[in-house]
Amino acid sequence: MLMIRFQRIGRTNDPAFRIVVLEKERAAKAGNILELLGTYNPRSKALTLNEEQVKHWIAMGAQPTDSIHNLLVNKGVIEGKKVNALPKKTPQKNEKKIAEEAAAAKVAADAALSAAAETAALPDETSAAKVEETEVPAVVEETPAAPTEAEVIAEAEPAPEETPVA
């Protein structure tokens, strides 16, 4: 499959790109290109492009990368909507799709609850009587009452010492 993609040619910290056609499996740095279509400098936004050749290669089945596609849409070479070039880092949320998934989840939960209610057997009267007979009455332990202030003070004060009588 043929791809229309960028090939970096700039110096360190000064990017510049060629727009080239090459096989998808080949690395852009390898230099084994089929045709040079133009150049692009992202700092100055300078673009030189052979539009006729770009249209020819697209007609031949070459697929532009997302970045090239967006650049071609901006310059009016091809028509269409821009595509998200960074889908992993900035996923686009489709609110309609999310709402549909939530509605489907709600319907599934309601169906599961109704199915569980239908399959649950109602206990008969004899088993209810057995349960009442076997129930153990709850044992309630009385907790001691909280001490009053007088008791707390009496415990805190030491007992008066007896003085020996002479």
pLDDT at residue 18, as a whole number: 93
Helix (H, G, I), strand (E, B) or coil at 156: helix
Q: What is the pLDDT of residues 9-50, one digit of tens each?
A: 989 999 999 999 998 888 877 778 899 999 999 999 999 999
Number of domains, the chain:
1
Q: Which two tokens stand for residue 131?
A: 């349960």
- Please, is 157 exposed, middle or buried when counting C-beta atoms within 10 Å of its C-beta (0-12, 13-18, 19+)? exposed
The answer as to whether 92 is a domain residue is no
Containing structural domain, residue 10: 2-75
Distance CA 125, CA 128 (A): 5
Q: Which two tokens stand for residue 161?
A: 């010492």
Residues sharing a CB contact under 8 Å with residue 108, sequence separation 6 or more, in sequence order: none
Share of the chain above pLDDT 90, in %: 37
Mean pLDDT of 138-158: 65
End-to-end alpha carbon distance in the chain: 121
Q: What is the CATH number of the domain that holds 61?
A: 3.30.1320.10
Query: Among residues 35, 50, 43, which one has the least CA distance to residue 4?
Result: 35
The answer as to whether 51 is a domain residue is yes
The answer as to whether 147 is a domain residue is no
pLDDT at residue 17, as a whole number: 94
The answer as to whether 157 is a domain residue is no
The answer as to whether 154 is a domain residue is no
The answer as to whether 119 is a domain residue is no
The answer as to whether 132 is a domain residue is no
Q: What is the pLDDT of residues 66-91, one digit of tens each?
A: 999 999 999 989 888 988 888 665 55
Neighbours of 83 (CB within 10 A): 14
Question: Which DSSP helix (H) or strand (E) runs through 64?
Answer: strand 63-64
- Report pTM: 0.51
Neighbours of 50 (CB within 10 A): 14
- Amino acid identity of 125? E
The answer as to whether 58 is a domain residue is yes
